[in-house]
Amino acid sequence: MNISLISLCRIANEYTRGPRLRPDSSREALIAWLKYNDGNGTYSDEACDQAGYDRLTLESAWDLVARECAE
């Protein structure tokens, strides 16, 4: 998805009443947003470690936010 972070934040903030995102949002803020929107997802460092997944990077977290908003 080729979309600016400003546009993605606008879409994400309209998508949910959860944590608000900004273009300079931290990795932790993105993980909080993802956890709010998908309580069954594996986003936190602890959950990723337990499941044997790589921890989310800032870039991969933004990719997941974009995917979540596209659904």
6-59 pLDDT, tens digit per residue, is 888 888 888 888 889 999 999 999 999 999 999 899 999 999 999 999 999 999
**What is the per-residue pLDDT for 36?**
93
Quote the CA–CA distance of 71 and 57 in Å, as a whole number.
Answer: 21
- pTM for the predicted model, two decimal places: 0.86
The residues spanned by each domain of the chain are 5-70
Quote the CA–CA distance of 58 and 11 in Å, as a whole number.
Answer: 18
Q: Counting Cβ atoms within 10 Å, is residue 34 exposed (0-12), middle (13-18) or buried (19+)?
A: buried
CB distance 1 to 18 below 8 Å: no
The DSSP call for residue 23 is T
